[in-house]
Amino acid sequence: MDPTIRTLAREEMPLVIDMAAREGWNPGLHDAVCFHAADPGGFLVAEHRGEVVGCISAVSYAGCFGFIGLYIVAPAWRGKGFGIRLWRGGMARLAGQVVGLDGVPAQQDNYRRSGFALAWNNARFEGVARSGGETPPPQIVPLATVDFAALCADDRRVFPAPREAFLRAWIGMPDATGLAWVDQGRLAGWGLIRRCRNGHKIAPLVADDPQVARALLAALRAAVPAGDAVYLDVPLPNAEAVAMARAEGMRSVFETARMYAGTAPACELERLYGLTSFELG
């Protein structure tokens, strides 16, 4: 079979989000708009006789860093060559760039054969929201009050390329709460919690030190209904982040392998307590 590989239009983005949901990846309710804002040409689908049977994201940030995600072929169409066509199309789009991905550890050997090397592992931690019993510290303020340029500059410390368009959409999405720790005018941490198909995800969570991270985590969890499921994707090399999640009663339910084709970019993992997205980096 010879599928057509084409770029997904903005209004078609719910197609791939629904495919991710069927895979159990629990996307956010408003991920489609935010993902498309990151790179409007970065989402490819395999189409056979008018039916979308697979997808992949090959998002380029500033033309220098790419990320592969949302790599899915519908179960009924697997084993027919659609996946490799999508993979080649995505990688061709990111030619000449350092490329990252978060894949399940069992697929590491396959990714190595495509030129990827393991950088670190991540774990998804699951817990529950708690009702706000304590008044948050005065340093915690709405993320919308933080200067956007300062936020983007801070994000560049934990992400290898500028992604202003994505961040603007991400922090402005509905059904989400963004908070920051600002001390004497200096941004020392920030995070966002958003509604997903099941529960809520905290993504990202960035902080200068464990105290700030714990305070933001508590405030974000208190921003959603008590008892709801809450998820946090932690880079395992950040031992303080792992210890924080476990101390808060969260348990590891899923792992991914962060891999790169090309030189692994610099990232202040000690400040990264929660990743933004396994799909977009």
How much is the pLDDT for 151?
98
What is the CATH architecture assignment of 4-100?
3-Layer(aba) Sandwich (3.40)
**CATH code given to domain 124-274:** 3.40.630.90
Mean pLDDT for back-to-back runs of 10 residues, the chain (281 residues): 90 96 96 98 95 96 97 94 95 98 92 96 96 84 98 98 98 98 97 98 98 97 96 98 97 97 97 98 95
pLDDT of residue 135: 86
Kindly report the pTM of this predicted structure.
0.96
Distance linking the first and last C-alpha atoms of the chain: 32
Whether 8 contacts 15, CB under 8 Å: yes
Roughly what angle, to the nearest 10 degrees, separates helices 31-38 and 164-171?
160
**What is the average pLDDT value for the chain, to the nearest integer?**
96
The answer to whether 191 and 274 have CB atoms below 8 angstroms apart is yes
> What is the domain partition of the chain in residue ranges?
4-100, 124-274
C-alpha distances in Å from residue 54, one per residue of 43, 63, 149, 210, 248? 11, 25, 37, 41, 38
pLDDT at 1 (0 to 100): 66
